[in-house]
Structure 1
Amino acid sequence: MRFPVLLHVRHMHIGQRRALVAGTALVGLLIVTATASAHDFWLVPNAFAIPRGGDLVIRGQTSSLFPTSGSAVAPARVAEANLVGAGGSTAIRNLSTSGSSLVLQHRPAAAGQYVVAVRLAPISVRESPASFRRYLELEGAPEALARYAREGRLPTDSITRRYAKYAKTFVEVGRDGARAHATAVGHPTELMPLSDPAALRVGDTLRVRFTFQGTGVSEAHLHAGAVPLAASLAASRADTTAARAASKRDLSLTTDAAGIASVVIDRPGTWNVRNIHILPAAANSGADWDVHWSTMVFQVRDDVAPTAGRAAAAPSDSAGALRAVEQYHRALQAGDSAAALMLLAPDVMILESGGVETRSEYRGHHLPGDIAFARAVPSVRTVRQVVVHGATAWVTSTSVTQGTYNGRAINSQGAELIVLTQDAEGRWLIRAIHWSSRARRGS
């Protein structure tokens, strides 16, 4: 169902911002002034699978660059740390810090899959109207900022912004235990995998449901990305360069009416999905705005064994086809017409605006306009499906586009189908593109 939330924001990698401490800890609530650092909080296991009777060791990482950590969360700030299995939940009490990481240790009593879930106590920030506007800009919500300004809903006096963070990851203990991936941990906002993350292989698609108070949130913006497994197991400040390189391939996703987004698994490694959810706080709750940070971490192995219900396939083919589509869109956004044309087969057919164009017609007519539009108006694409049959693939995507073009406000949703074939050298070329779009409801 559609949940009437006022603001969903995209996560953007942002630098540290100075904060001045104006109070002391009081029942887990810290009052500060100015703008506080905004960082994700992730749970990264030292091992995603351990033998029965072994010890789980999980690091809590705080930064804007997965899976590195710039500072350790104090154990006193952990409001809840639980090991959630199919049969119930057990508190994790062995909390400490090591370097820039929070460290959780626990020995599970039984075999099975478990969700490790941590909720950090909220922190409140007292800030000026200008600071709050700047916060919305830094968190990637310029359209919402403009909308609230038009509606006269932006604060004109100082406000209290309260933020909390929730993290979860999945671990395997022993063999043949009960599965727990579908068990909700009860965080105010939560990322729920709709299939078992442990069964994922490259080329699969993971559907993730984003919820607020247990209800799916539509049009919420999620981000997903991965680093090589070795990098995640040794995550530290020294890994910043590798993590930054991996982050350039991050995916931007938008949930559908049921709160579901699809993550195309295009490489092995340690994956994360994340979201920031901002909305007005409840009346008399001690804050004016609430900010919820949610993350989910899981492993995708590099073997190609088929998962249950899926025939063995060449996952690299699926990833290669998706990569060609991403390269095409990046070329448009960069204004590189030559790079875009190199990805189009000589006999490509392009369907848009009620017409059909050949490669040469597209080069002379719609390509310049497509480049100008892509560079001027931001668009968030969500890959819905990648299918490969032999040397043919088709990639289905949807998008939300908002901004201004030639003095005209743009607020549309689109659909895209790209058909590709693989040549003798293994290179994927686009053979057909079909675009359609319409104004978003309420725009």
Structure 2
Amino acid sequence: MRIWLVVGLALAAGAAQAHDFWIQPQAFAVEAGGATAITLQVGDGAERQRSSIPRRRIVRFEALTPDGTVRDLAGALTLGASGGDTAARFEAPGAHVLVLATDADGRSRLPAEKFNAYLVEEGLIPALEARKRAGRSEREGSERYRRAAKAIVQVDDGEGAAMRPAGLPLEIVPLAWPRTEAGRLPVRVLFEGKALAGALVKLTELTELTELAGGAGPQASRRTDAAGEAVFAAPSAGAWRLSVVWTKPLGPDADADFETTFATLSFGVSAPWPGACGRRTAGARRPGGRRP
């Protein structure tokens, strides 16, 4: 009975609202001194589009350089402009990390079945169990939410800032970058600065650097272990996005049931990693609807 309940919820997830949001450089690799246009994207497959998030909700937009310098990019945002939401120039060799954080003023409210389905789809089983303990499984669910996104832009060679935490409320940190462990991409998920166990991390391929594979779901998903770590097969050449969602219950006087953080890490691989496997695993379509 329990198995069929989970299956039914997963099938119903198509009506929930959990689209990924990510930073999309036009190029994930540039020469020293080179620049690239950058857009903020939201959606999946054919539903991908430029994000319409308002400027007032963005509380942090920076570039972390290989030597540890932090460059504030918020003043250069041109949201909705035809040439992109901003552009950035990268001088020093190594990996630079673009970092964006929003406030938690996003709001979502769903009927019970759709909200429960969304929790299953994103692997948020503790939240599902919390609703059950509180006797709220048959009631609508509400959350306030925020975004935490990173993108790696590679300038020539070197790790740079790629493997350093950025201090986001929820983030995915590569443990090997680049090619330091043949055939593997190990990552750690941090929530409020601590290793997060039991989080569902998804790996999705991006095509032509600017668009998601039409209609495709994640190529792979892994749940983090007690150390907050998950290991993927090293992706082949191309552009990729890792994503994770986590939520925590709020008190009875709060304006929502949960506070949720959606986090992504987008990056490019310029050549196949040693031992990389080209096979793709089938992925279910992500929930429908979209959040800015």
What TM-score do you get using the length of structure 2 for normalisation? 0.76
Q: Displacement, 1:138?
A: 2.6
Q: Displacement, 1:280?
A: 0.8
Residue 243 of structure 1 is aligned with which of 176, 190, 214? Answer: 214
Residue 83 of structure 1 is aligned with which of 40, 63, 74? Answer: 63
* Change in CA separation of 1:289 and 1:301 when aligned onto 2, cut-off 3 Å: same
Alignment correspondent of 2:172:
191
Cα distance in 1 for partners of 2:11, 2:242 equals: 13
The answer to whether the 8 A contact 1:61-1:101 is kept is no
The answer to whether the 8 A contact 2:238-2:270 is kept is yes
SS at match of 2:56: helix
Deviations 1:325-378 (A, max 9, x none): x69xx9xxxxxxxxxxxxxxxxxxxxxxxxxxxxxxxxxxxxxxxxxxxxxxxx
Alignment correspondent of 1:136:
116
Q: State, as a whole percentage, how many aligned pairs show the same letter.
A: 23
* Change in CA separation of 1:107 and 1:12 when aligned onto 2, cut-off 3 Å: farther
Aligned length: 271
* Change in CA separation of 1:132 and 1:184 when aligned onto 2, cut-off 3 Å: farther
* Change in CA separation of 1:46 and 1:290 when aligned onto 2, cut-off 3 Å: same
* Change in CA separation of 1:111 and 1:252 when aligned onto 2, cut-off 3 Å: closer
Matched, 1:218 2:197: yes
Q: How does 1:44-443 map to 2 (within 5 A)?
A: 44-65=24-45, 68-69=48-49, 71-85=51-65, 86-92=67-73, 93-98=75-80, 103-125=85-107, 127=109, 131=111, 134-140=114-120, 147-148=129-130, 150-154=132-136, 161-173=143-155, 175=156, 179-196=160-177, 198-199=178-179, 204-228=183-207, 230=208, 232-233=209-210, 235=211, 242-245=213-216, 247=217, 250-281=219-250, 287-303=256-272, 315=275, 319=277
Matched letter for residue 288 of structure 1: D
Cα distance in 2 for partners of 1:194, 1:55 equals: 27
Cα distance in 2 for partners of 1:154, 1:38 equals: 21
Q: Displacement, 1:56?
A: 3.0
SS at match of 1:135: helix
SS at match of 1:243: coil
Matched letter for residue 227 of structure 1: L
Alignment correspondent of 2:287:
none
SS at match of 2:21: strand
* Change in CA separation of 1:286 and 1:88 when aligned onto 2, cut-off 3 Å: farther
RMSD of aligned residue pairs (Cα, Å): 3.7
What TM-score do you get using the length of structure 1 for normalisation? 0.53
Q: Displacement, 1:146?
A: 6.1
Deviations 1:70-126 (A, max 9, x none): 543233332110001232211102112347996121224544321101112222437
* Change in CA separation of 1:178 and 1:195 when aligned onto 2, cut-off 3 Å: closer
The answer to whether the 8 A contact 1:137-1:145 is kept is no
SS at match of 2:241: strand
Cα distance in 2 for partners of 1:204, 1:83 equals: 28
**Which structure is higher in RCO with an 8 Å CA cutoff and minimum separation 6?**
2
The answer to whether the 8 A contact 2:98-2:153 is kept is yes
Q: Displacement, 1:220?
A: 1.1
SS at match of 1:293: strand
Structure 1 spans left out of the alignment, 5+ residues? 1-9, 18-36, 305-312, 331-443
The answer to whether the 8 A contact 1:44-1:60 is kept is yes
Q: Displacement, 1:68?
A: 2.9
Deviations 1:258-284 (A, max 9, x none): 010011125321111101112113687
Alignment correspondent of 1:43:
23
Cα distance in 2 for partners of 1:51, 1:11 equals: 44
Deviations 1:171-213 (A, max 9, x none): 123x4567111221111111010011x4379x72111111111
* Change in CA separation of 1:162 and 1:260 when aligned onto 2, cut-off 3 Å: same
Larger Rg: 1
